[in-house]
Structure formats: structure tokens, C-alpha cells
Amino acid sequence: MTAHEIDYEIFGEEMQYVEIELDPQEAVVAEAGSFMMMDNGISMQTIFGDGSNQNQGVMGKLFSAGKRLLTGESLFMTVFLNEYQGKRKVSFASPYPGKIIPIDLSEFGGRFICQKDAFLCAAKGVTVGIEFSRKLGRGFFGGEGFIMQKLDGDGMAFVHAGGTLARKELAAGEMLKVDTGCIVGFTPTVDYDIQFVGGIRNTLFGGEGLFYATLRGPGIVYIQSLPFSRLASRVFAAAPQGGGKDRGEGSLLGGLGNLLDGDNRF
């Protein structure tokens, strides 16, 4: 194996975290901000990109970091290396409610394609690259644009899905229609395209967008019930405007409270 072979355990239900056990000199690479806790004896090092091109000089490091810029991620990632003589553990937390998905790349032909913000961490040696869409419709209307992330290698990687997770195994020629934001990732054998919803009433009043994704097998697809964009829009819509306090949304008490505060909004 070119990637480090790591052991892991996932804890929790709605707000999960993954605990990774590292043998001496084993390492895991993670997105900035996902770190939760670690045992003494593990060192942290910030690197350009995913660390897969560290032995290829300055240009290799810059190329690795440049790929991450195209997906909207930070130039830097963090490597956690076990410098202790025995086994040590390091944990990484979910960014919002959902599920952590362990992906053994050796079981998926060495590659997995996922949305840009799904990647959480991986064994050192796994390459976090970019997947360009060659279809104009998918690029403009697919919700993820022309660029998605691809994970290459033969080690373990961990991605995050919002809400409840659905795993679908599609047979050859079998098609699944999905909201564009609900796609977490899929194996490279799956054909991903965009289809117009159709119908004037659906287009104007459906409230589900003008397009949905079509995923055609063979292959495995992971679907999330709560994309972060949907969660953020609901939170923003429910937040009181102007920073005021809302004591009982949609209730008489809320209106009376605003009146007593000198706020004439109902």
C-alpha cells in the first residue's frame, strides 16, 4: 500500500466524530478546523495541499495546493504524525449534524468522487484532487459547478454527509434522480448528468429548482438528506432581522413582546 494503513472507530449519532488509531510513524491528513482531540506523542504539521507531492520539490507542492484552490478549499492541510513508540489516537469532528462515511479506496478501484466540502480526513498518501465536469449542463446547473473533489489512492478516507445518509448501489443502466445538493459522492463508474424538471407549473411553483441530477449505474452513490446549503438557508430565513430578539416565532406572545419593547413589527 502507498497510503498509511490506519484503524478507526466512529462515535455518536447526529454529531459524529471519528477516532483514528495510529501506529508509530503513521500519519493522517485532515482539513483545517476538523481537529477535535489527540493523545500525547502526536505531532501536528501544516503542509501545502494534501502532502502527496511532498517529495517532488517546490513545484509539486505548489501544484498540490493549487488544486485545492480550484475547489474553494484552503491552500493548507494538517498532518498528524505519531512520533510515540506505541499506538496513539487522534479524533476529528463533523462540521454540522450528519454522518461520517468511511471510504476504503482499495474497494472502489482507487478513486471516489465527492462534493467540494465533503472531505474530512484521510490516511497520509491519499491524494485529494479535482474532478472536472466535461458536460456544460452539469457544470452550469449541477449545484457543484464544473469542479468536484476526487480522492485517489489505496487507503482510508472519511467524508461527511448532512442529516441522514442513504447508500444506493445501482445496477448497470439503473438510474436515480436526485436533488443536486443532496449528492455526497459516487464511484467513478457512475455517470452523472443534469436533467431539466420540465412542466410550467413545476418550473414556476414547484419550489424544487429547475434541474435535478441523474445518476446512472453501475456503481455506488451516497445521498444526504440535509445539504449544508439547505441548512444555512433555513437558519438564515428563521433568524430575526436586524439582530432583534424573537420571543415566540409566529405567536401572539412574540407580537406582544415586540410591542412592549417598543418594536412595532409583528
Sign of CA dihedral 232, 234, 238, 241: positive
Which pLDDT value is given to residue 140? 47
For residue 229, the 8-state DSSP code is H
pTM for the full predicted model:
0.77
| Dist CA 223 CA 202 (whole Å) | 23
Indicate the CATH number for domain 7-233.
3.60.160.10
Q: Residue 77 and residue 21: Cα distance in Å, rounded? A: 19
Return d(Cα 15, Cα 25) in angstroms, integer.
30
Radius of gyration of the chain (CA): 22
- Give the cell for residue 218: 453501475
The amino acid occupying position 144 is: E
Q: Which three cell numbers stand for residue 257?
A: 413582546
pLDDT in tens, the chain (266 residues): 577 888 999 999 888 999 999 999 999 999 888 999 999 999 999 887 665 555 555 555 555 555 555 555 566 789 999 999 999 999 999 988 899 999 999 999 899 999 888 899 999 989 888 876 655 444 444 444 447 888 999 999 999 999 999 999 999 999 999 988 889 999 999 998 887 765 555 455 444 556 788 899 999 999 999 887 766 766 777 777 655 555 454 444 444 445 444 444 44
Q: How far apart are CA 129 and CA 148, in angstroms?
A: 9
Give domain limits for the chain. 7-233
CA 227/CA 20 separation, integer angstroms: 26
Which pLDDT score is estimated for 76?
78
